Amino acid sequence: MRREDRFLMTTRNVEDYLETIWNLHSKKGYIKVKDIADKLGVSRPSVSEMIKKLSENSYILYEKYGGIVLTAKGKKLAQEIKKRHTLLVEFLKIIGVDEQNAQQDACKLEHDVSSETITCLLEFVEFISLLPESSKWKENFQEYLKKRGLLKKKQ
């Protein structure tokens, strides 16, 4: 990454920050710059700079010695990302990806998929969840993966 790219307000950057702020808020109730830096693996000055930009763009409210709070606009986007994340994790697990990889990859995919793909995935996950237990699709599919040597961990 070029140095001047560090603080760019890319969609991915904004979404990663808002998702992280949302998760930290849900887990701890308060948010510190250090927590965001740890979670995203970036430096504290980078976080501070981004916090300023998110605040200028009305995604969050931020007081220097106070806390970080999502605005309605920020919350809406954060919830959208979170929804996409959960859906992608569910889908990836259905096709045999283990929990850890599913979580990591969902965070990459969630920024780049079209709304058409999201809608189709949502319908697919829903469809699968409506199949009767007796259809044994999951067992059959896992059996198939095993035969192909592709099932690493038991889901």
DSSP one-letter code for 62: E
Q: Which is nearer to Mn ion, 5 or 112 (CB)?
A: 112
Closest distance between Mn ion and the C-beta of residue 3, in Å?
26
Q: Which amino acid is at 36?
A: I
The span of 42-50, 54-62, 94-102, 103-111 binding Mn ion (CB under 5 A) equals 103-111
Asked if 107 touches Mn ion (CB under 5 A), the answer is yes
Q: Which is nearer to Mn ion, 26 or 135 (CB)?
A: 26
Total chain residues near Mn ion (CB under 5 A)? 2
Residue from 75, 81, 76, 65 nearest 25 by CA? 75
d(CA 102, CA 22): 19
Closest distance between Mn ion and the C-beta of residue 12, in Å?
11
The residues in 61-100 that bind Mn ion, with binding defined as CB under 5 A, are 85
| DSSP state string for 15-75 | HHHHHHHHHHHHHHSS--HHHHHHHHT--HHHHHHHHHHHHHTTSEEE-TTS-EEE-HHHH
Q: Which is nearer to Mn ion, 94 or 107 (CB)?
A: 107
Q: Which is nearer to Mn ion, 85 or 94 (CB)?
A: 85
Report the interface residues with Mn ion, using CB under 5 A: 85, 107
